Chains A and B, each alone.
Chain A
Amino acid sequence: MLPEIVALNTSSSLSVPWWKVVYDFLPLTQWIDSSLHNAMSPFWTTVTEMLIIGVLILLFYALVGLFLVYAERKVCAFMQNRLGPNRVGPFGIFQTIADLFKLLFKELVPIKNADGFLFNLAPFIVIIASFMAIAAIPFAKGLHAIDLNIGVLYVIAVSAMGVIGVLLAGWSSNNKYSLIGAMRSGAQIVSYELSVGLAIITIVIMAGSMQLSVIVEAQRDGWFIFKGHIPAFIAFIIFLISSTAETNRGPFDLAEAESELTAGYHTEYSGIKFAFFFLAEYINMFIVASIAATVFLGGWMPFHVGPWEGFNHIMDFIPPFIWYIGKTFFVIFLMMWFKWTFPRLRIDQLLTLEWKYLLPINLVNVLIMAFIVLMGWHF
């Protein structure tokens, strides 16, 4: 955990006024670290820190999941000229909590002739994959659980691991719909993972690093989507499309196409195990949205325009966490927008879109970006 913090500051109180913490969490985390060091041995310090971070992430995970389900239902309703949930609490904000309790109390139906072990393991793999990804995301300045030097690669790799859970769920359910849904999901991930990677590489070329904190810091004088003008914008669009496909959402939700496959890979799941799949889908959306926000829109970095000192200073008054959340929800809104606008693609259309359109465009785009960076034409 946080290796740079271990070189400690031994003071027992917070070194800055408490309200400044929202602009930079580093003094707070350092203070927690040093007080823990004073109280116990290094081993137990590490264990305690891991526990604290685990609990915080778990809490964040649950809150974001509940909120996103509500937001999705509201956004979808407004786009279809409906009201959405409006009975439980003001504007229906407690609807998802009621749904959660319903799912918690429901019976876990055992499936005859299903592979019991894999059947029970699958939802946890899906959940764990999204958990691992969320650990490496920079939420605000200094609020970053683990800052790997290959952060982007790590997040993409572990978030793609979720498909193993989907495949296991489909296989172990002993049900043709589940199996077809899982196989479609597999084919989808194999093709779209390429586009996600290449779209990110376009930006990694600009940033010159895969470390998320360095990528965010490099956007101090302007976000990459503006700095890299056209190629960065194309990469952003491609990233949006392919990451939506990767999370089995939107017009690419063939893995759970209701009209053909009842519910796809989670047909046989009920109660809390179904809730895990459901939650993981939303958290995966949150993860890809925050990657898009971090890599293309500057993460927690406020909106800066290179030489305008006064303007930059005003923007700095908004805390970084707000910037991060705002950008992430903007990307999530875009994803919801096209989910509720476009009809579901057929499997051949899905693969055509990837292999005939996105991939060639992406390859050319990477080339152009490399050329632009070489010639120094970006801002």
Chain B
Amino acid sequence: MRSIINYLKEIILGVWSLLKGMKVTGSYFFRPSTIVTQKYPSNRKDLVMFERFKGEVVMPHNEKNEHKCTGCGICELNCPNGTIEVISKTIITEDGKKKRAIDKHIYRLGMCTFCALCVKTCPSNALAFSQKFEHAVFNRAHLIKTLNKPGSQLMKGVE
């Protein structure tokens, strides 16, 4: 008797779990709004990539053309591929002290694996990922980028 009850229970539980699975796919089928596929080349104009997307490393500048990079070189040390090269220079501040600043922050996109170690380890949050993903160029030299804009300066208050 017990075995018969177990047999029936097995069938009912089995059918129930199968129906649960069908509910998931069925709900997706009847709600086309859940589709995640993008019709990429045709919706290129209004395609918005999501926040977490790692397109390329950038150095955000504010409207006064200031960045947060102090030129400490931690990103260069952390990069597993030698993608980043920080060329620093010495400047003299207004009160006459010698200080280190970046001359060029060179980023070789062609060697980058988008591991995000540079962005995570930067002590002053100077680096970030942009959502741009169309990286194809006709010349390899275009993949070597200088992240700090010409004439930019260190933001006030960032040490």
Question: Could you tell me which A residues sit within 8 Å of B by CB distance?
Answer: 75, 78-83, 86, 337-338, 340-342, 357, 361
Is B13 positioned at the interface, with any CB of A under 8 Å from its CB? no
Give chain A nearest CB distance to B86 CB in angstroms: 43
Q: Is the CB–CB distance between B28 and A81 below 8 Å?
A: yes
Rounded to whole Å, the gap between the CB of A147 and the closest CB of chain B is 36
**B29 / chain A contacts, CB cutoff of 8 Å:** 75, 78-79, 337
B53 to chain A, nearest CB (A): 18
Considering the complex, which residues of chain B in the window 19-44 have a beta carbon less than 8 Å from any beta carbon of chain A? 21-22, 24-26, 28-29, 32, 34-37, 39
Residues of A within 8 A of B34 (CB): 81
Q: Are A337 and B22 in contact (CB under 8 A)?
A: yes
- Residues of chain B lying within 8 A (CB to CB) of residue A82: 35-37
| Chain B residues with CB below 8 A from A338, complex form | 18, 22
Chain B positions within 8 Å of A357 at CB level: 11
Given the complex of chains A and B, what is the CA–CA distance between A357 and B7 in angstroms? 9
Query: Which residues in A have their C-beta under 8 angstroms from that of B24?
Result: 341
Which listed residue (B25, B32, B35, B37) contacts A337, Cβ 8 A? B25
Whether the pair A342, B39 counts as a contact (CB closer than 8 A) is no
Nearest opposing residue in chain B for A78, CB measure: B29
| B residues less than 8 Å from A78 (CB atoms) | 28-29, 32, 35
18 CB contacts below 8 A, A to B, read A75-B29, A78-B28, A78-B29, A78-B32, A81-B34, A81-B35, A82-B36, A82-B37, A83-B35, A83-B39, A337-B25, A340-B25, A341-B18, A341-B21, A341-B24, A341-B25, A342-B21, A357-B11
Known contacts A78-B32, A83-B35, A357-B11: A337-B21 contact under CB 8 Å = no
Q: Which chain B residue shows the least CB distance to A87? A: B39
Q: How many residues of B contact A (CB 8 A)?
A: 15
Q: Provide the main secondary structure of the chain B interface.
A: helix
Q: Which residue of chain A is the closest to B38 with respect to CB atoms? A: A83
* Complex CA–CA separation, A75 to B11 (angstroms): 28
Minimum Cβ distance to chain B for residue A195 (Å): 15
CB pair B22 A80 closer than 8 Å: no
B22 proximity list for chain A (CB < 8 A) = 337-338, 341
A80 and B21 contacting across the interface, CB-CB below 8 Å:
no
Most A CB within 10 A of own CB, among B34, B37, B39: B37
Chain B: minimal CB distance from A43 (Å): 52
Rank and list the top 8 A-B pairs by shortest CB-CB distance, nearest first: A79-B25, A83-B37, A341-B25, A78-B29, A341-B21, A82-B37, A79-B29, A81-B36
Inside 8 A of B35's CB, which chain A residues have their CB?
78, 81-83
**Proximity string of chain B (110-148) to chain A, C-beta cutoff 8 Å, 1 when within and 0 when not:** 000000000000000000000000000000000000000
Select one of A79, A86, A361 contacting B28, CB under 8 A.
A79
The interface residues of chain A lying within 8 Å CB-to-CB of B28 are 78-81
Give the complex CA separation of A81 and B32 in angstroms.
8
> Chain B nearest CB: distance from A334 CB in Å?
9
A33 to chain B, nearest CB (A): 45
Seed contacts A81-B28, A86-B39, A338-B22; 19 additional CB < 8 Å A-B pairs: A75-B29, A78-B28, A78-B29, A78-B35, A79-B26, A79-B28, A79-B29, A80-B28, A81-B34, A83-B35, A337-B26, A340-B25, A341-B21, A341-B22, A341-B24, A342-B18, A342-B21, A357-B11, A361-B11
